[in-house]
Amino acid sequence: MATATMTSKGQLTVPKEIRDQLGLKPGDKVELVPSGDDRVVMRKRRTIELKELFGILPAGTVPLTLEGIDDAIAEEILEKDRRSRE
């Protein structure tokens, strides 16, 4: 198990073994996702190409606001990611 210590500024250094396992390099983004009680899942943020977004929303259900479109795309990406892990 790897351990990190939080600084007074709220910063953590990701231990080398975890960086290596996730393939993290300087400048990479990570997602921290609450996962029940006092657990957090950290995963490398995946870059999505524009062509992966085509056809992601069902026809006729596109929200009319930019915020609604962003939310719908985010939900579909998370669902697609969840399905790919099953």
Same domain, 42 and 6: yes
Question: Would the pTM count as exceeding 0.75?
Answer: no
Structural domain including 21 reads: 1-46
Same domain, 2 and 42: yes
Same domain, 86 and 52: yes
* Average pLDDT rounded to a whole number, residues 10-34: 91
Average pLDDT along the chain: 84
User: 35-61: per-residue pLDDT in tens?
Assistant: 888 888 888 887 777 777 777 767 776
- What total of structural domains would you count in the chain? 2
Same domain, 69 and 38: no
Residues 6 or more apart from 72 whose CB is under 8 A from it? 57, 61, 62, 63
Stretch (H or E) spanning 81 = helix 66-85
CATH code, 21: 2.10.260.10
